[in-house]
Structure formats: structure tokens, C-alpha cells
Amino acid sequence: MLQTIDLSSLRTRSNAYAPARARDVALTPEVAALLTTDAVVAIGVSGGKDSVACALAVARYLDATGHNGPRVLVHSDLGRVEWKDSGPACERLAAHLGWELLTLQRQAGDMLARWEKRWSNNVERYRDLSCVRLILPWSTPSMRFCTSELKGNLINSALNKRFPTHNIVSITGVRRQESSARSKMAVAAPLAPLSTKGRTGVTWNAIIEWTVDEVFTEIAAAGLALHEAYTVYGASRVSCAYCIMSSLDDLRAAASCTDNHDVYREMVRLEADSTFAFQGQRWLADVAPHLLPPELAADLARAKAAAIERQTIEAEIPAHLLFSSGWPTARPTPDEAELLASVRRRVAQTVGIEVGYTSAADVMRRYDELLAQRQGAASVEDADATAPAVASVPAQASFAF
């Protein structure tokens, strides 16, 4: 889990730090050498404390070392799920540094639209028996497409288009103190999406060794106002207002902000429609139930009961009939096919969706189709592996994303 901190007194905390010697950035010889080529420096910013402190520290280092390459702050706007002060906080930082701020948005829709579309796609998969168990709409700690698709991929694509011939140093405000996973991260690493023939791209975690107090000291020394999520609402971190990684206290902080009430109700609606809680066993609806209209509260109560029933029904599926990497691995017996058909009928009724393949014969026919497709895809991959002049062809179907 990400580290949380007690910010109950944060309204005055940033002013409590006396001026101190600025903490140096973490550096590797490779990053230092790359910067001497006047590489592009692109810092991902969210408006949160770590990205702000990182930008301030990196700007100071670049000025001291005479870097003359392009510099840009990049903010990926996640739409309705963003705190309203996130964009303005990034703008305040850009104005302070005198850097360009590049704000990006996913053309296919914001973060909530991505979750809604994922649910629609997953219902279609289930209807088509392209998955055996119904798949949740939300991102998870182990499946953070929210970060990869709406931040990393979007930013890398924009930088590639903007700077096609420059070396690029892409910088994050990741810190070891934040979590066990981040404590093991390197100071810098090659970044394949920004590396091409004759051009180098790296990720640089410039403040990875910093403590949270050093972060606040940096921001206070610059005289910059902290994001209102900290100072007004007492949140310990800034990402989505309602993040899959948020603590209960941070979810409550977000719900205490009037700006976040509409998206709260929209996200609870998706919980009710899908019967999947936002954070595993934690329902977002339980964070601020007083914000829900009676009809939505009633729908949510039904969804909670349906979730328990759905999980109970799906537990009847034998493990060998579950899909692996989007494919079945075994053909069901007639009795097993009847069980799968029964599971599908009951899940569909419980969740309130329409599905196909609800008879044993249809289930067996669908498994035969998928097993044949899987064999065909494997044959193509094997053939490609023996032909180095031809690019490898990926599997034709992958139903989990």
C-alpha cells in the first residue's frame, strides 16, 4: 500500500519549515551524460506534492549544470475523476518555473468513461462466452491500466510526436518512502517507448531518496501553495479524487469536497450496475452514503446482495474450466457443460444482463471453437518463431485487460 501521512495540520504545515539547504537530486552517470546532450526534460506532474517538489529540484539542478535542452511539464488530465485544483496547481508550478505546461487528455474519453467502456466490453465478453467469470470494470493494484493507458502511454506518445529526434529524459516524483514496491525502484532506467534508432529515452526518478518532510521543505522554500486536497480537505495524496489505491480516509476527504460529489454518484452507479465494489471488498458507496439519492441507494443495496450471490455461483466452476490468458485449456464433459450453462443463466439473472450459450450443447460448441482458435493461434506463433525475417504474431485473443 502507498504510504499515508497525518495531514490534519497541513493548512499551516508548509510554512512551518525553516529555510534549509536544498536536497540534491538522485543521479546516475547515464542520466548526467544524457543531459549534457541537451536532451528534452519532461516532468510528469499531477499537482500533488511529490511532482511539484520534483519539478522544483530538477529545475534547480538543470540551471546549475547549464542544461540548454527543451523543458516541459506534462499533465495527464483524467477528466471527471480529477480534483478541480489539479490543473490549476500544475499551472501555478509552470508559471513559477517559466516552463511550458503540456496538458493531455485521452481522446476516447476520461477515466470514468474508460471504466464504463470496460464494463460494457466485459459484459459482451461474458455474453459471448469469451470469459467464464464476469470481469470487473475497475482498475486494480495489479492491473493499473488507469496509469498505463491514461498517463504513461499518452505521455510517451505525445513526447514522441513533439520531439521525434531528441534524446528524452522522462522524470517522475516517485519516492522510496511511499511504498514497499517503490522502495525497490531504480534511480533511472531505459524507457523503451521513447527509445529509437539513434535516440535514447530514460526514466529518471529524481527525488526517489527524499523523505516527505524534504518534499514539503522544497515547496515551502519556493513559496508555492499546496494543492487544496491537502490544505482544505486533509487528503494525504493527490491522484484521482477517488483512486483505487486510496485509503479510506482519503476517500472520505474526497467525498467532503462538493466538487467531487457528481463523479462520486456516477462511480457508485457503476458499482450498482456491475455488482463489483470499487476497491475489492470496499464499496465506494459506503464512503459517503448520505450523498446518494434514494433510488441509487436502493440499487446499490440490491447490487451488494447480487455480488454475494454472483461470487457464490461462480465458485461452482471447476478450476480446470477457467480460462488462461484468455483461452480455455480443457474441453468440458457433458455434465460440466451443463454446470457452466447453469452458472451462466443464474449469473445473468442475478446481475441483470443477457447472455448466450445457456445450454450444455451451446457451451460445448463454444469451447470447441475457442480451443480450435487457440490451437490455430499457437501454430502461427510457432511458425513465426522459426522465421526470423517475419515479426512475431501475438495471440489472436486476450480477454482480460
**CATH number of residue 173's parent domain:** 3.40.50.620
Q: Is residue 213 part of a domain?
A: yes
Q: What is the mean pLDDT of residues 311-315?
A: 98
Q: Is residue 375 part of a domain?
A: no
Q: Is residue 102 part of a domain?
A: yes
> Last residue of a domain, which of 208, 231, 254?
231
Q: Kindly report, residue by residue over 152-197, the tens digit of the pLDDT.
A: 899 999 999 999 999 999 999 999 988 788 888 999 999 999 998 8
pLDDT of res. 28? 95
Q: Is residue 248 part of a domain?
A: no
Q: Is residue 267 part of a domain?
A: no
What's the mean pLDDT when you consider all of the chain? 89
Q: Are 175 and 50 in contact (CB under 8 A)?
A: yes
Question: Considering the chain, what percentage of its residues have pLDDT values greater than 90?
Answer: 81
Say yes or no: 210 and 95 in one domain. yes
Say yes or no: 199 and 343 in one domain. no
Q: Alpha-carbon distance 110 to 117, whole Å? A: 10
> Last residue of a domain, which of 178, 198, 231?
231
Q: Kindly report, residue by residue over 224-248, the tens digit of the pLDDT.
A: 999 999 999 999 999 899 999 999 9
Alpha helices by DSSP H, 14-85: 29-35, 49-65
Model pTM? 0.86
Q: Alpha-carbon distance 85 to 165, whole Å? A: 34
Q: What is the mean pLDDT of residues 297-301?
A: 98
pLDDT band at 338 (very low <50, low <70, confident <90, very high): very high
Q: Is residue 306 part of a domain?
A: no
pLDDT of res. 398? 29
Say yes or no: 29 and 164 in one domain. yes
* Domain of 329, in residue numbers: 319-367
pLDDT for residue 17 is more than 90: no
Closest CA to 278 of 309, 312, 248: 248
Q: Alpha-carbon distance 47 to 93, whole Å? A: 8
pLDDT for residue 50 is more than 70: yes
Say yes or no: 206 and 61 in one domain. yes
Q: What is the mean pLDDT of residues 255-261?
A: 98
pLDDT of res. 145? 80
Residue 215 is inside which H or E element, if any?
Answer: helix 212-222
Structural domain total, the chain: 2
Say yes or no: 210 and 342 in one domain. no
**In this structure, what C-alpha cell is assigned to residue 254?**
474526497
Alpha helices by DSSP H, 66-133: 86-97, 111-127
Say yes or no: 227 and 327 in one domain. no
pLDDT band at 373 (very low <50, low <70, confident <90, very high): very high
Q: Is residue 314 part of a domain?
A: no
Q: Kindly report, residue by residue over 191-235, the tens digit of the pLDDT.
A: 999 998 889 999 999 999 999 999 999 999 999 999 999 999 999
pLDDT for residue 2 is more than 80: no
**In this structure, what C-alpha cell is assigned to residue 326?**
484468455
Say yes or no: 55 and 180 in one domain. yes
pLDDT for residue 11 is more than 80: no
Q: Is residue 335 part of a domain?
A: yes
One-letter amino acid for residue 207 of the chain = I
